[in-house]
Amino acid sequence: MSFKKDFLWGSASAAYQIEGAYNEAGKGLSIWDLWAHIPGKTYEGTNGDIACNHYYRFKEDVALMKEMGLKTYRFSISWPRILPKGTGMINQEGIDFYSDLIDELIANDIVPMVTLYHWDLPQVLQDKYRGWESREVIEDFVNYSKVCFEHFSDRVKHWIVMNEPNIFTSLAYMLKVHPPGIQDEAIYLNAFHHTVLAHAYTVLAYKEAGYTGMIGSSIAYTPSYAATNQPEDLKAKEMFDATGSLWYLDSYYKGEYPKEAIAYYSKKGVMPEVSKMDLEVMKKAASLCDFIGINYYQTATVAGNPEDGVGFSGMNTTGKKGTQSESGVPGLYKQVRNNDLEYTDWDWAIDPAGLKYGLEILKERYDLPIIISENGLGAYDVVTPEGKIDDDYRIDFLRKHVLACEEAVANGVDLLAYCTWSFTDLLSWLNGFKKRYGFVHIDFESGNLSRTKKKSFQWYQKVIETNGKEV
């Protein structure tokens, strides 16, 4: 087997999805704290007010991580829990909570891996200057990051600046399903560019301060296939990549945007303003990143789409398999079903080979170490009358993806960590509490939030114990 002796077998979470205590202990409100209380904005009206109550039960959760043998735990820090007003006064209770969590992890031989931004922007900054739409957010974000570095970098050596900036900007500013719920391509592209700059200036601040850990960001990565070898499908794949994964990854890890996409967006009149100084900062930060973080769930199969073809048709948020229809950008591409693959109940393609394929593309294009910061299966889990959760389907999914990682490593990919999504069940942004990802079942239905180990818990425990030899 190919995994290094110090390979980080991990699992992950995000603050809003697990912590709860949304208006306690000095925390300010985030954009999600308000959005989730607007009728019709979330699935079945679910919100993160309590979530898994991890804020008060983190020691119980860490004890389960220790029992599993987890090598690393990736979690996010809530910006408004640290800086309730986004800037200025530091909330000591927030500092103490994350400091205690970090200490608890280290005491149990678990490496803390920290995400600085997992979508919970302070609401006060949204009100002040419309959040990610404004360049003002860049300086405020860097100052927040510096606070985290100053308080935690003595113990935290793995930093993920941004989590899926491509997802939160597109869902917020193109698809209207995340706050602030806008549909404007120019605003979306501008907001994404601001995440690039926030990431870049944060990387520079970290390096200039002389910290000794590793820093990068995590992109939601969807490798693609052309539906056929016909020219229109090959061109569709090229533009899907240029305006998708390469737009996101090149800007973060090459310090530039793909030329084909610049031409396309410029012709449409929506290309963001990218100054010479922007490019200099992006290039410098890209040269200093220590790893690429990716969240991998599925691949996309792409076909040509005429000017009068299909547009965005919505996402399957109900969990009714087969209800996702073709969706795309007229004149550019459309995503079609791949008959060679199985799909989840939410119509996500299950493609372990796509992970190997994607990892090898990343090695070839960027030649950086890679952290898989998320990979997992969202599914309906059934509790038996005996209180067991036999999630063999999750074991099968993860096993095949671990084997794909092994093959990629054997082919020269420098893989540092593999973090599943997620350790416990949690609140899904668009699917409430019914779509479960965890090794640990949370009893949301009764409200007591009791923790129960699933069958996959013991499976991953063995994988970690044998460093991937027994999957």
pLDDT score for 314? 84
Contact 225, 199 (CB under 8 A): no
Full-model pTM:
0.97
The pLDDT tens digits along the chain (471 residues) read 589 999 999 999 999 999 999 999 999 999 999 999 999 999 999 999 999 999 999 999 999 999 999 999 999 999 999 999 999 999 999 999 999 999 999 999 999 999 999 999 999 999 999 999 999 999 999 999 999 999 999 999 999 999 999 999 999 999 999 999 999 999 999 999 999 999 999 999 999 999 999 999 999 999 999 999 999 999 999 999 999 999 999 999 999 999 999 999 999 999 999 999 999 999 999 999 999 999 999 999 999 999 999 998 888 988 999 999 899 999 999 999 999 999 999 999 999 999 999 999 999 999 999 999 999 999 999 999 999 999 999 999 999 999 999 999 999 999 999 999 999 999 999 999 999 999 999 999 999 999 999 999 999 999 999 999 999
Question: CATH number of 8-465: 3.40.50.970, 1.10.150.20, 3.20.20.80, 2.60.40.10?
Answer: 3.20.20.80
**Residue 337: which of 323, 346, 319, 349 has the closest Cα?**
349
Neighbour count for residue 381 (Cβ, 10 Å): 19
Q: Provide the token pair at 40.
A: 């019709």
Upstream peptide bond of 180 is cis (omega within 30 degrees of 0): yes
- Residue ranges covered by each domain of the chain: 8-465
Q: Amino acid identity of 38?
A: I
Contact 411, 360 (CB under 8 A): yes
Catalytic residues: 374
3-state SS, the chain, equals CCCCCCCEEEEECCHHHHCCCCCCCCCCCEHHHHHCCCCCCCHHHCCCCCCCCHHHHHHHHHHHHHHHCCCEEEEECCHHHHCCCCCCCCCHHHHHHHHHHHHHHHHCCCEEEEEEECCCCEHHHHHHHCHHHCCHHHHHHHHHHHHHHHHHCCCCCEEEEEECHHHHHHHHHCCCCCCCCCCCHHHHHHHHHHHHHHHHHHHHHHHHCCCCCEEEEEEECCCEEECCCCHHHHHHHHHHHHCCHHHHHHHHHCCCCCHHHHHHHHHHCCCCCCCHHHHHHHHHHHHHCCCEEEECCCCEEEECCCCCCCCCCCCCCCCCCCCCCCEEECCCEEEECCCCCEECCCCCEECHHHHHHHHHHHHHHHCCCEEEEECCCCECCCCCCCCCCCCHHHHHHHHHHHHHHHHHHHCCCCEEEEEEECCECCCECCCECCCECCCEEECCCCCCCCEEECHHHHHHHHHHHCCCCCC
- Distances from the Cα of 97 to the Cαs of 59, 73, 103, in angstroms? 11, 16, 10
Residues in the chain: 471
**Residue 165: which of 407, 441, 373 has the closest Cα?**
373
